[in-house]
Amino acid sequence: MIIVCSGGFGEVYIARSLASDEYVAVKMIKLVDEHGRNIKKSHNSYHNEVAMLEAVRGHSNVIKLYDAMHTQKCAYLFLELATHGSMRTYI
């Protein structure tokens, strides 16, 4: 996987879907800190983001959420890959 960007909650990678053989974005959110303690903000961020993306599923102007899963240490969101750069360049 190729890292695209990183931030306070985790990183975003480019990966190839085994199911469709297409490129997708994988957002990895750290759920525990370096000492193994839960990061409540990360848990809330993950659940809120999944809920919002599921609520607008099918809207043509919103990145598609293909799947979401989590382990004890990390959460993963499998998203449509936006290939035209950062949204900040268009705002």
Residue 42 CB-half CA count within 13 A:
23
Q: Does residue 74 register a pLDDT over 80?
A: yes
**What's the pLDDT tens digit per position in 34-50?**
888 888 888 888 889 89
Report the predicted TM-score, pTM, of the whole model to 2 decimal places. Answer: 0.84
Q: Does residue 22 register a pLDDT over 80?
A: yes
Give 52's pLDDT tier (boundaries 50, 70, 90).
very high
Q: Does residue 86 register a pLDDT over 90?
A: no
